[in-house]
Amino acid sequence: MNRKILIVDDDQKIRELLKTYLEKNQYEVLMAHDGASFMAEFERHADAISLCILDIMLPDTEGFALCQAVRRRSEVPVIMLTASSEETDRIVGLELGADDYIGKPFNPRELLARIKAIHRRAGMDRSQAPRFYRFNGFVLDVLERSLIDPDGKAGALSGMDFQLLKLLVEHPGEVLDRGRLAEVTRGRDLGPLDRSLDVQVSRLRQRLQDDGKQPALIKTVRGSGYVFSTTVSTSNAA
Give tens-digit pLDDT for 96-153. Answer: 888 888 888 889 999 999 898 888 776 644 445 688 999 999 999 988 889 999 999 9
d(CA 30, CA 154): 31
> Is there a contact between 94 and 66 (Cβ–Cβ < 8 Å)?
no
Residue type, 216: A
pLDDT for 101: 87
Least confident of 10-14, 80-84, 121-125, 205-209: 121-125
Domain spans, the chain: 4-122, 132-235
Q: Which CATH number fits domain 4-122: 3.40.50.2300, 3.40.50.1100, 2.70.70.10, 2.40.110.10?
A: 3.40.50.2300
Please say whether the structural domain 132-235 has been given the CATH code 1.10.10.10. yes
Nearest CA among 189, 188, 143, 150 for reference residue 166: 143
Nearest CA among 195, 207, 214 for reference residue 165: 207
The percent of residues above 70 in pLDDT, for the chain, comes to 90
- Mean pLDDT, rounded, for 21-28: 90
> Is there a contact between 175 and 105 (Cβ–Cβ < 8 Å)?
no
pLDDT band at residue 13 under the 50/70/90 scheme: very high
- CA-to-CA dists, residue 217 to 12, 45, 121, 137, 229, angstroms: 47, 38, 24, 12, 5
Residue 143 dihedral angles phi and psi, to the nearest 5°? -75, -45
pLDDT score of 233 more than 50: yes
- Mean pLDDT, rounded, for 177-198: 72
**Which 3 state secondary structure label does DSSP give 21?**
helix
Note the pTM of the prediction, 2 decimals. 0.58
Cα dihedral sign, 124-130-136-138: positive
